[in-house]
Amino acid sequence: MAPNLFSISKRKNRSLREAITDNAWVTDIDLQHQSFSVTHFIELQKLWNAASRLQLRLGVPDTIRWKLTADSHYNTNSAYRAQFFGSTNTNFETIIWKPWAPPKCKFFSWLAIQDRIWTADRLQRRGWASNPNCALCEATQETGLHMFTACNYTRNVWAQLSAWTRCPAIDPECWTPHDALHDWWTALAGAQVANKKGLRSLIILVLWEVWKERNARVFQHQEQSIPRLVARIRDEATTWVAAGAMHLERFLDAARRS
Ligand SMILES: [Zn+2]
């Protein structure tokens, strides 16, 4: 409540009862201290008001109480929960960190889903020179949401993958429009399919390959046709399966059998 006053108090280890008896805490403060300022004065006023409201039961010694449990006794459970005060819940664990994917692709996904990859709209907001148009279709401004879900190029990729896997959920014709990439991702990752974990790996793979294609166009002036990118994604999926993407394998198998 009054850290500045505390620092210039000459008696820092008084009990609360001692301090408020005859307002001893006021005489403890070095009012002549060279750092004394308006901040100290405001704290003095706050502390004065608080101290004058206190009614102490005389003869009862000060005790230390734990504020995070109902019975004021410390337990490790409440201390552990205190570590998470102020944190927010996300579904990143389920849709990004748990599915099988190489760490660099997960990290990219974690940035992308929060709209933190350097797409043209973000570069522009920072005042950095760049081509504002989508590198994949040249038709509209590049944003993460556009590039991964609305761009004609990417939608074609998704449609061909839908035909390959025989999974209608990844066909853009089945999607409803979303205002944020996170919403689109959450909806698709929750689609009713034979193996959701496998689908979640595939989403990460497709977005990663689309982002790489975009970067190849921007930085190396090289572009691949839609069928070539689809073939690349299929190859890469096979590599992921060989490297241990068990659910992705089941997703692809189940889709091909149905
Ligand atoms: Zn586009």
Task: Give a yes or no: residue 99 inside a domain.
Answer: yes
Task: Out of 82, 115, 133, pick the residue that ends a domain.
Answer: 82
Q: What is the mean pLDDT of each run of 10 residues along the chain (258 residues)?
A: 90 85 87 88 90 70 84 91 84 95 97 95 89 94 96 97 93 94 96 92 98 96 96 96 95 74
pLDDT at position 104: 97
Whether residues 146 and 180 share a domain: the answer is: yes
257 CA → ligand 1 middle, Å: 33
238 CA → ligand 1 middle, Å: 27
168 CA → ligand 1 middle, Å: 22
For the chain, the domain total comes to 2
Whether residues 68 and 113 share a domain: the answer is: no
Q: Report yes or no on whether pTM surpasses 0.85.
A: no
51 CA → ligand 1 middle, Å: 65
Whether residues 19 and 47 share a domain: the answer is: yes
79 CA → ligand 1 middle, Å: 49
Query: What are 43-95's pLDDT values in tens digits?
Result: 999 988 888 877 666 567 778 889 889 888 899 999 998 888 887 788 999 99
212 CA → ligand 1 middle, Å: 14
Task: Using alpha carbons only, give the angle 73, 76, 80 rounded to the nearest 5 degrees.
Answer: 120
Please name the residue that has the structure tokens 């193996």: 195
Task: Out of 82, 104, 119, pick the residue that ends a domain.
Answer: 82
Whether residues 78 and 199 share a domain: the answer is: no
Which residue segment(s) compose the domain that 248 sits in?
92-257
Task: Give a yes or no: residue 87 inside a domain.
Answer: no
Q: Report whether 141 contacts 120 (CB < 8 A).
A: yes
Cα(156)–Cα(175) distance, integer angstroms: 13
Whether residues 111 and 201 share a domain: the answer is: yes
Task: Give a yes or no: residue 123 inside a domain.
Answer: yes
What lies within 8 Å, CB to CB, of 112 at 6+ separation is 144, 148, 181, 207, 211
Token pair of 190 as six digits? 């929750």
